[in-house]
Amino acid sequence: MRKERLFTPGPVQIPERVLKVLGEPIIHHRTPEFKEIFLYTRELFKRLVDSVSENFVYFASSGTGAMEAAVINFFKPGDKVVVINAGKFGERWGQIASTYGLNVVELKYEWGKSVDIEELKEVLDKNPDIKGVLFQISETSTGVYHDYKAIGELCKERDCLAVADAITALGVYNIKPEEEGIDILIGGSQKALMLPPGLSVLWFSEKAAKRLNKDIPKYYFDVAKEVKKQKEGSTAYTPAVSLIIGLRESLEMLLEEGMENVEKRHRLMSEATRAAVEALELKVFAENPAISVTAVYTERAEEIRKGLLKLGVRTAGGQDHLKGKLFRISHMGYLDTLDHLSAIGALEMVLSKLENRDLLGVGTKAFQQKVLEEEKLL
């Protein structure tokens, strides 16, 4: 018997409750029935981001599609933007922005590092013509966290949009974009929203709304057109019907737990994982780690991943120049502390075998201590 558990930073494990509705017969999207569900998920989404604004759209696309939509709807060729590039997804912001002729000022950081807020402030102070800061809240390739609240604060006082790729942060952090000065917030279904891939969401502030323009040609990813349709319960093009119905369940689950508790859970799972990783004498790669995914640096990453997979735990590897040097354990999706306990237990078995030394129970203990510090068990 072989059971495989996804500890990858997308796709993630999907709750039974979501799977159940995904397995239901498909309904047509031009029906009152679907319209009702669609509008209901919009109400739920507003609660998720603690806003009453209708300024958001779903796309049948991966998260990258929504990133592109952010660039082509809210900016113009020649617009000067800062891109925080501290990993594969920061790099992607730069590529998209350059593709459409934006004037990219890249703040590049070594992989594993977070943005230097002071440095960003200086750049913004020196360049009052900067129209936007494009960044990740959680840089999935390195497990790094960029302080989105600080970036939001910096942009609030300026004529500059804080554009947050929250693909691995939405449903993890209790993000309140309106309050926190985030102007564009992007999410993807296959991460902490606990759905299969194929659905993205783009939320935007009133400040961003004023920037909507037609300077860059667009057809599918037309935010103004979509938002007009979607707030009435329709879509410009065929929506990802099943994913919207699944979203109803996953948003309900997140809201039932409460976003404060959701963030707390991810914080505990990730902190305990890092404690275990360090107890096992491995290196947490990120200086300022995100709570969505833990990247572990080791020369034996691939052997470890192989061993884990044999035991039923699928992790992700490193990307680009870190291929073979990282393995990444996701905390997103339908996972709790007990799921993590088994992954840590597997990790110490693999390590003990690989390095021919006794690390059994060592990571587990560090993990458990964190859990007991935080959680009332009895």
Residues lying near a second copy in the complex (CB under 8 A) are found at 1-3, 5, 20, 23, 253, 257, 262, 265, 303, 306-307, 310-313, 334, 336-339, 341-343, 345-346, 348-350, 352-354, 360-362, 364-365, 367-369, 371-372, 377-378
Q: Residue 188 forms beta bridges with which residues?
A: 200
Nearer to a second copy, 21 or 241 (CB): 21
Nearer to a second copy, 214 or 353 (CB): 353
Nearer to a second copy, 52 or 378 (CB): 378
User: What's the min distance (Å) between Cβ of 36 and a second copy?
Assistant: 24
User: What's the min distance (Å) between Cβ of 325 and a second copy?
Assistant: 19
Residue in 235, 241, 234, 227 with CA at minimum distance from that of residue 35:
234
Alpha-carbon torsion angle 339, 260, 176, 84, nearest 10: -40
User: What's the min distance (Å) between Cβ of 370 and a second copy?
Assistant: 11
Check: CB of residue 253 under 8 Å from CB of residue 15. yes
Helix (H) or strand (E) holding 331: none
Give me the helices (H) in the chain, please: 16-22, 32-48, 63-74, 88-99, 117-126, 148-156, 177-180, 206-209, 223-230, 241-257, 259-279, 301-311, 337-355, 362-374
User: What's the min distance (Å) between Cβ of 332 and a second copy?
Assistant: 12
Q: Is the peptide bond before 197 cis (omega within 30 degrees of 0)?
A: no
Nearer to a second copy, 167 or 346 (CB): 346
Nearer to a second copy, 305 or 328 (CB): 305
User: What's the min distance (Å) between Cβ of 322 and a second copy?
Assistant: 22
Nearer to a second copy, 50 or 303 (CB): 303
Angle between helices 241-257 and 32-48 (to 10 degrees): 40
User: What's the min distance (Å) between Cβ of 335 and a second copy?
Assistant: 8
Residue in 308, 281, 249, 323 with CA at minimum distance from that of residue 23:
249
